[in-house]
Amino acid sequence: MSIICLLPVSSFAKTIMILGDSLSAGYGINPQQGWVFLLQQRLNQQFPKQHNVVNASVSGETTSGALARFPKLLQSHKPDIVVIELGGNDGLRGQPPQMIQKNLAQLIQQSQKSQATNPMQHGCNHNFNNQLIVDACFIPLLGTLLNNV
């Protein structure tokens, strides 16, 4: 289970960067079956040549690892939208929920300082309250990613 934060600048963003773990990296499946590839395909069909999806996901990624890589990724890709799909591996490794919350909040804040603004939080069930992140970053909480999986 992971956390997704979507930080849209406008409905016609050019670069969408996905920062995630194996769920976004497509570990163990054909790359054309992964949700990031399918997102790019759908955007190409509905909005030809208007969006570029950059998959900066790494299988096994944690919020700490992503936090270390994030500034360079923001600088090199200059995304208009950042989707953060992280937190599951932290939980599996027994990381304290407060650390996961802190790291996610820092990722959101760094996104807000870059061109990506107006975030929306899409969370899932963890052993911590997503509302704390939502309140701290002034972002609305949406449903869970894996509700029907």
Residue type, 115: Q
Q: Is the confidence at residue 9, as pLDDT, over 60?
A: no
CB-facing half-sphere around the CA of 34: CA atoms within 13 A: 20
Q: What is the DSSP string of 99-121?
A: HHHHHHHHHHHHHHHTT--S-EE
Is 102:133 a contact under the CB 8 Å cutoff? no
Give the Cα separation of 135 and 65 in Å (integer).
24
Give the Cα separation of 96 and 41 in Å (integer).
37
The CATH number of 3-142 is 3.40.50.1110
pLDDT single digits (tens) 22-47: 999 999 999 899 999 999 999 999 98
pLDDT single digits (tens) 43-72: 999 988 889 999 999 999 999 999 999 999
Query: Would the pTM count as exceeding 0.85?
Result: no
Is 56:19 a contact under the CB 8 Å cutoff? yes
